[in-house]
Chain A
Amino acid sequence: MSKNKEKKVREKINWKKEAKLAPGYIVIILWVLFTLMLLGWIIAASLSTTGDIFAGKALKFPSGLHFENYIEAWGSGGVATFFMNSLMYSIVSCILLILICAPAAYVLARFTFLGNKIIQTGFVSAMGVPITMIVLPLFCIVANMGILNSIVASKVTLMFLYIGINIPYTTIFLLTFFANLSRTYEEAAAIDGCPPTKTFWKIMFPMAQSGIVTVTIFNFINIWNEYFLSLIFANSDALRPVAVGLYGMLQSMQYTGNWSGMFAAVVIVFLPTFILYIFLSEKIIGGVTGGIKG
């Protein structure tokens, strides 16, 4: 329905309405310009030379454009594998996270039962525990179980852990979205004889879509950029996600003072997330809205 509205606006510009929004436009446009300038600088730096960056000439390109920075950054072997790994880890984990956490969040938000508050507090305190204290002991257990010598088992373990460490976050995030939904929907469904489980998946789940989409975007980006867990657990090139693969690159560029190369590596890391972000937010919003209607 929002689509239709936008179309209407596009057809006919209501100048009166637009004028009212003018202050908003100005603020947002200024902020966006500032952001674009900063990010533009990063892209310019990635096409520039280290010397130019430190002489403050990154935006002037006195020595032309240096696409070789990208070739160099890409050149480290196995980037394609890293990408496929990251893609698989992120997609599988994100889907499972929603399937696991949305029902849990719903139950925690809707029903009062013994242990509800304890579970919530448990989740929140888990988010406060530094990742180092969780990942390193887990590594010792997992490694002693001998799982890490097999590629496939390691991949499953990694995904399991990505899901595990994001459960508290996702659940707590979705809690409010279910808490704020009106009970009238469930009551109506109950009168129609719809069992509560079905009511959840058919009615409540789609109604929390704005929260679900938002948290999926966050999860996706979190997992895509996750560094420490992958660093400790992915001890072979076949397992490594982009973050570890390219952050290594990034660090080496720093150590060797190749800053323009570092920025090229940064752009390579962030472009796919950005494209996927746009793709994800549009597709999922579209898909879920369509689902309700159908």
Chain B
Amino acid sequence: MKKRVLSVLLCVTMIAAMVVGCGKKSDGDGGDKGGKKLVYWAMWSEGEPQAKVIKSAIEKYTKDTGVEVDVQFKGRNGQREGLQPALDAKQQIDLFDEDVNRVNGSWGKYLLDLEDLAKDFEAEHGNETLYKIARNAYAQNNDGDETLHSIPYQPSIFGFFYNKTLFDKAGIEAVPTTWEELDAACAKLKDAGVTPITGDTTYMTSFMGYHLGRYLGQDGVKALVGDPAVADKVESGDIEKVSWDDEKVVQAAKDIEDFAAKGYFSKNIASNIYPAGQNQEFAPGEAAIILCGSWLPNEIKVGENAEGDDKIEVADDLTWGYFNYPSVKDGKDDSTANNIANQVLAINKDSKMTEEAFELITYITAGDADKQMTTDALCIPADQANSDAWPTELTEVKPGFDATTTYYDWAVGAENNGDLTPVLNENVVKLMAGSITADDFIKSCKEASGQ
């Protein structure tokens, strides 16, 4: 019997060996043909509108140039977990995309210098703001080297979206630009029986990040939370040290406490796990203001469209409005400093088809595909030739976007210290729900950061 088992195992091994052997042969054939194939790892998942737009752009590209493209839709997590191992193992990946800071930061060493390749393209199509951000992202992580290593597309901005209909109902005439004006607007909304502000816990660290950023500036926030990336600069004094006792920090916490006490935040604010706030409170018109990224209208639109004709979820009279995070009294930054992010496409420096890869990038990030992104995924156009193609839902975002001159990181850097973020997020949410006071908030944060 033992022999039988052994022979079975042997057989299996033999078959496996044969299969592998055969595989290797066929691999040779495939390899030759595969030489003319571009491999593109995309951050989207099959089925997302962005993926559909990219697919049609690739079709057009293949038709025009005859170069085949093997596109792998990896999704955000797939890209984050799998791209670097694959690059390290020298798998053929000619181009890939992800968030501008991750591509230039985490994967900076794999990127091809695009300065020459992209010269003409940038002059013709490039949006100045976005290219500046892309260069800056590379510089931040590579000793100030400001050469272009990635091509931006799909920009987004983070700020306050509001329901215009509800603002009209409450008699609010002008969009708030300062914290006091926001206070007044919220009071009117509350009087009109509308929940002034809602949001999902996911974005609430950003709320506090923005608020602190208005007082301290981004470097101040980073120093405050103890971002490891700026630790050296804080040490050397290039960036001023900020403690949780700082009167401006206390003031920021008090501002939020004040709003909570006045009942401006939704009573569900602490238990709104994404996407409960945006889908259950903002979309149906129960709450008037929400802090989110400019992808919000698309998320709500897709949810609405997926269900055919009967849309109960989104209020019929929802008209999209937007304003940048307001400025505060005696703050360092005003509402021209914002978190503008975008995706970028980059080329692997080991790629043997850099020119073909770059051409594909031009097909995806400019012209028709870019336009299609604005209609199908409600994106902000990246191609300056499409600058009038902003989706109607984002009309009010355009002035806010154009007015931005200082570029914040995600959450104004408040989430840059991974060890502190969980504590910070929990305490911000509690502060907004009114279950702790500003003093408690400061105390907890201080303890957690070991100050």
Contact = CB atoms under 8 A, between A and B. Distances in A.
A153 B28 CA distance: 12
A232 B81 contact: yes
Contacts of A195: 1-2
B308 A63 contact: yes
B70 to A, nearest CB: 8
Contact of B75 (A132, A139, A248, A260): A248
A55 B75 contact: no
A229 to B, nearest CB: 11
A259 interface: yes
Interface in B65-119: 70, 72-78, 81-82, 85-86, 88-91
Interface string B18-35: 011011101100110010
Q: Provide the main secondary structure of the chain A interface.
A: helix
A249 interface: yes
A259 B305 CA distance: 11
A252 B47 contact: yes
A140 B19 CA distance: 22
A150 B26 contact: yes
A231 B82 contact: yes
B84 to A, nearest CB: 9
A279 to B, nearest CB: 25
Contact of B20 (A96, A139, A152): A152
Interface string A250-263: 01110111111100
A197 interface: yes
B54 to A, nearest CB: 13
B302 A256 contact: yes
Interface residues of B, number: 61
Given A156-B19, A231-B81, A149 B30 contact: yes
Interface residues of A, number: 59
Contacts of B9: 99
A142 B11 CA distance: 23
Contacts of B279: 50, 54, 257
Contacts of A66: 307-308
B261 interface: no
A207 to B, nearest CB: 16
A136 interface: yes
Interface in B180-210: none
Contact of B90 (A50, A144, A154, A231): A144
B123 interface: no
Nearest to A57: B312
Nearest to A92: B12
Contacts of B284: 55
B2 A248 contact: no
B280 interface: yes
B12 A255 contact: no
Contacts of A200: 1
Most B CB contacts (10 A, CB to CB) among A54, A144, A148, A259 go to A54
B89 A252 contact: no
Interface in A38-78: 48-52, 54-55, 57, 62-63, 66, 68-69, 72, 75-77
Given A139-B89, A152-B19, A50 B303 contact: yes
A151 to B, nearest CB: 7
A143 interface: yes
A49 B306 contact: yes
Nearest to B70: A236
A49 B20 contact: no
A228 interface: yes
Given A143-B89, A251-B76, A149 B51 contact: no
A100 to B, nearest CB: 8
Most A CB contacts (10 A, CB to CB) among B5, B49, B77, B306 go to B306
Contacts of B2: 195, 197-198
A260 B304 CA distance: 11
A31 interface: no
Interface in A237-290: 248-249, 251-253, 255-261
A183 interface: no
A25 interface: no
B401 interface: no
Most A CB contacts (10 A, CB to CB) among B47, B283, B304 go to B47
A225 B42 CA distance: 23
A154 B24 CA distance: 10
B128 interface: no
A39 to B, nearest CB: 21
B48 interface: yes
B443 interface: no
B78 A231 contact: yes
Interface in A100-134: 103, 132
B446 to A, nearest CB: 32
B327 to A, nearest CB: 32
Nearest to B21: A153
Given A201-B5, A231-B81, A261 B86 contact: no
Contacts of B1: 195, 197-198, 200-202
A235 interface: yes
B82 A251 contact: no
A256 B49 contact: yes
A49 to B, nearest CB: 3
A51 B89 CA distance: 44
A62 B310 contact: yes
Given A143-B90, A150-B27, A257 B45 contact: no
B81 A152 contact: no
Given A50-B306, A257-B279, A144 B48 contact: no
Nearest to B310: A63
A73 to B, nearest CB: 8
Nearest to A200: B1
B298 interface: yes
A151 B310 contact: no
Nearest to B31: A149
A260 B306 contact: yes
B314 interface: yes
State the 6 A-B residue pairs at the shortest beta-carbon distance, nearest first. Answer: A49-B307, A51-B313, A143-B89, A252-B45, A150-B27, A152-B23
Interface of B: 1-2, 5, 8-9, 12, 16, 19-20, 22-24, 26-27, 30-31, 34, 44-49, 51, 70, 72-78, 81-82, 85-86, 88-91, 275-276, 279-280, 283-284, 298-300, 302-304, 306-314
Given A55-B312, A195-B1, A256-B302, 12 more contacts: A49-B308, A50-B307, A55-B280, A99-B8, A103-B5, A136-B85, A139-B86, A149-B34, A150-B24, A153-B19, A248-B46, A258-B306
9 contacts: A54-B275, A54-B303, A150-B27, A153-B24, A235-B91, A252-B47, A255-B299, A258-B302, A261-B306
